[in-house]
Amino acid sequence: MAELGPPNSAQEAAAAPAAGGGRTKDEVALELMRFIAVTTGYGKSTQPSAGFSAKPSAASPEQQAEALLELYSKCRQAIHKPV
């Protein structure tokens, strides 16, 4: 069963990749970025769809990539921020 309290230094040390399949903070940040991008459509150009949608934008592939890299950077900062 997982603990709900704040992590201690032993738990942070265990966050390093291990033979048991541990994940690094960068991997967690990448998963967070993927989750946000998929659920919100972040970084994608708006395509016609049914229902409500955000303001249409004609983003080039370079702009989309830049937006995703910026989101990843923000996720890394959030994950690496001391609690």
Question: What distance in Å separates the CA atoms of residue 37 and residue 71, rounded to the nearest whole number?
Answer: 8
pLDDT in tens, the chain (83 residues): 454 545 554 444 444 444 446 889 999 999 999 999 999 887 765 555 566 655 555 678 898 899 999 999 999 999 988 87
Token pair 């903070």 is at which residue?
25
Q: What is the pLDDT of residue 18?
A: 46
The one-letter amino acid at 55: K
Q: How far apart are CA 12 and CA 18, in angstroms?
A: 12
Q: Answer whether 26's CB lies under 8 Å from 78's CB.
A: no
pLDDT at residue 49, as a whole number: 57
